[in-house]
Amino acid sequence: MASERERALLGKSGPAYYAESLERSKRSREEAKTLHRAVHAEDQVWERSPQGLLKHLVNGEMGTSEPCLDMYQQFLEVGGKSGKHRHMTEELLYIIEGSGYDLHWDPEFDADVTIDFSWAEEPKKLEWKRGDFVYIPPFAIHQHFQTGEIGSRFISATSRQVAQIGFDWIDQLESVEAPPIPS
């Protein structure tokens, strides 16, 4: 039986993981100097998505220095709604204009040995209006509905940190037709 010292000396020569991580860190610091610290309105990206009409404020693909959040404005026309979806992170909404409500099907799970997910049969209805803040728990199925006399607009923020560690799980359960991009 090998001693702990003998086991510690086992192995083989291989990649320079630590040296490579030092190089990645150095490159990352240099790249950070080139990232945008301000994204002007005319540089923000419009998207007609399965969620509806979005205007991206900050996104990991936009070359911004913000490392943690993705944020966009979502536009709902009178009587409109978003697609029904869920994702691994919590989502925060700030209502800029209009009124409506969200339906949330919160997850219910058992994490004894494996994680078995199910969702509430009946959704929780959360009314919202201009100036309100809405919290959506991680992995909750949710959908936004517009109910007022003018279209609604809100800012959505989600964390991209969970995606960066390999859990980039988004499930689009129902899609909507996005209105045209304003000209």
Residue 113: domain span: 36-174
pLDDT score recorded for residue 166: 80
* pLDDT at position 98: 97
* Residues 62-94 pLDDT 10s: 988 888 899 999 999 999 999 999 998 999 999
Residue 111 domain flag = yes
Would you say residue 118 lies in a domain?
A: yes
Within a domain: 123: yes
What is the reported pLDDT for 136?
A: 95
125 in any annotated domain:
yes
Q: How far is CA 48 from the centre of its chain?
A: 17
The pLDDT assigned to 2 comes to 81
Residue 48 lies in a domain: yes
pLDDT tens digits along 21-35: 999 999 988 988 888
Does the residue 25 lie in any domain?
no
Mean pLDDT of 6-12: 90
Instruction: Name the E strands within the chain.
Output: 45-49, 52-58, 69-76, 84-87, 91-97, 99-105, 107-110, 116-119, 124-129, 133-136, 141-146, 152-159, 170-174
> In this predicted model, what pLDDT tens digit does every residue of 93-118 receive, in sequence order?
999 999 999 999 988 877 676 777 78
Q: Tell me if 150 is assigned to some domain.
A: yes
**What's the CA gap between 98 and 74, in Å, rounded?**
12
pLDDT bucket at 168, cuts 50 / 70 / 90: confident
Q: How many structural domains compose the chain? A: 1
Q: What is the pLDDT of residue 170?
A: 86
pTM of the entire structure?
Answer: 0.80
Q: What is the CATH number of the domain that holds 44?
A: 2.60.120.10
pLDDT for 178 equals: 93
Mean confidence (pLDDT) of the chain: 91
Kindly report, residue by residue over 134-165, the tens digit of the pLDDT.
999 988 999 999 999 999 999 999 998 888 88
Gap between the Cα atoms of 45 and 39, Å rounded: 10
Domain presence at residue 29:
no
